Amino acid sequence: MLTDEGKIFIVEGYIMQKAKVYPWYFVIISLLVYTVFSVVPGIMGICYSFTDWSAYSPDLHFVGFKNFIEVFSGDNDYLRFITNTLIFTVITTILKTGLGLLFAVALSRNIKWKNFHRGILYLPSILPILVTGLVFTSILNPKTGFLNNFLKAVGLGFFANKWLVDPKLAFGSVMAVDIWRGTGYIMTLLIAGILAIPNIYYEAASIDGANAWQRFKYITLPMLRQTLAVTIVLNVIYGLKIFDMVYALTNGGPGHRTEVLYTSVYKMMSKGLYAEGTTISSVLFIFMVIIGFFMVKILTKDEVVE
């Protein structure tokens, strides 16, 4: 019952909550550590991308935007690496989120062996990425791999392919393995989100005659928005930083078909061309900020601001 007295209580409660917020100087130490070990080296990294820093010479010279011009000149493969990274990010994010949501909805219901199914789907996520990559390199070998041999054995030999070396399939294979590995993790987060939705909404909707699709569309999806926002941001950041899966499965090949930004950063750094490496890294940083900014803005547009 709302009364004047009640309103006062709420206001008082709000004031009490506010009073519980810790003073700003509590974060000084952690902020200092973070600044020294993360922010400063990060800014230094960006600064180095304006130099000719390399392992070949102890001298360091300011070269302006030369390294950035090289990245965007189109004379080399960098633009393709950027495109590959973005394609990887978009496709894996959509499919991991879509499949994760599908499995989460299915496994939130009371089905038989629910936890067993959940465990099986989550299992790939706990395997180290490099191990997954190496195992799949063997499974997808066109001549001796398990997949092609299995397809041939069951009479589906026409589906057998050169999964990791056919230029048309290689990038798709890498993404498929990554989706296989990452979907279970997204599913787990979404299950937690779904289970947090009070059952009373579903009961009320059922009484009003809503079918399963309507309950999903008007209850599950809107109430999962925050969880979905988190999973999508996690997927996008992971996708932009992808390295180990590509490195283990194809090392950027065949040719440079599956090369992404971080595999090229790694190769630049290992060649001692540090400035070029940090330049690509800085470009990635700019991408992450731009994409992240708009994503957070879109996904939280209906969020109540204090």
Partner 1 sequence: MKRKLVSLVLCGIMTVSLAACGGGSMAPAAAPSEAPAAEEAAPAAEEKADEAADTAETPAADSAAGSTITVMASQDWVEDSEQELGKKFEEETGIHVDYQIVPADQYQDLLLTRLNSGEGPDIWGAQSGFALKTTYNVEENAVDLSNEPWMSSYSTFSAEQTGVDGKNYGLTYYDTTTDYYMIYNKKLFEAAGATVPTTYAELLDTCDKLAKSGVTPIYEPMADGWHLLMMWTGNGQVHEKNNPGVIDKLNRNETTFAAEPEMKQAIEQLKELYDKGYFGDNALSDEFADAEGYMASGEFAICMLKPGAIKTIVASDQNTEGYTEDDFGIFLLPICDNQYLNIHPTGPSRFIYSGSPNIEAAKQYLSFLLEKDNVQYLIDNAADVENIPVDVGQTPEYSKTTLDFLGSYDDQHSGMVLQDVVLYFNEQWMDINADLAALFIGDMTSDDVLKGIDDRRTQLAEAAGDPNWK
Residue ranges binding partner 1 (CB under 8 A): 34, 37-46, 48, 52-60, 75-76, 141-143, 162, 164-165, 167, 237, 241, 247, 251-257, 265-267, 269-274, 277-278, 281-282, 284-285, 288-289, 292-293, 296-297, 300, 305
Least spacing, CB of residue 59 vs partner 1, in Å: 6
In this complex, which beta carbon is closest to partner 1, that of residue 108 or of residue 250? Answer: 250
From the CB of 266, what's the least distance to partner 1, in Å?
Answer: 6
Instruction: For partner 1, give the closer residue by CB, 72 or 293.
Output: 293
Give bridge partners of residue 62 from the DSSP assignment. 51
Q: Closer CB to partner 1, residue 179 or residue 273? A: 273
Nearer to partner 1, 68 or 266 (CB): 266
Separation of alpha carbons 225 and 157, rounded Å: 43
Q: Considering beta carbons, is residue 175 or 240 the nearer one to partner 1? A: 240
Residue 43 or 156 having the CB closest to partner 1: 43
Of the candidates 234, 240, 285, the one whose C-alpha atom is nearest the C-alpha of residue 263 is: 240
Looking at the Cβ atoms of 20 and 168, the one nearer to partner 1 is: 168
CA quadruple 210, 214, 217, 218: dihedral, nearest 10 = -30
Q: How far is the CB of 114 from partner 1 (least distance, A)?
A: 35
* Residue of 195, 173, 234 whose CA lies nearest to 115: 195
**Which residue's CB is nearer to partner 1, number 121 or number 236?**
236
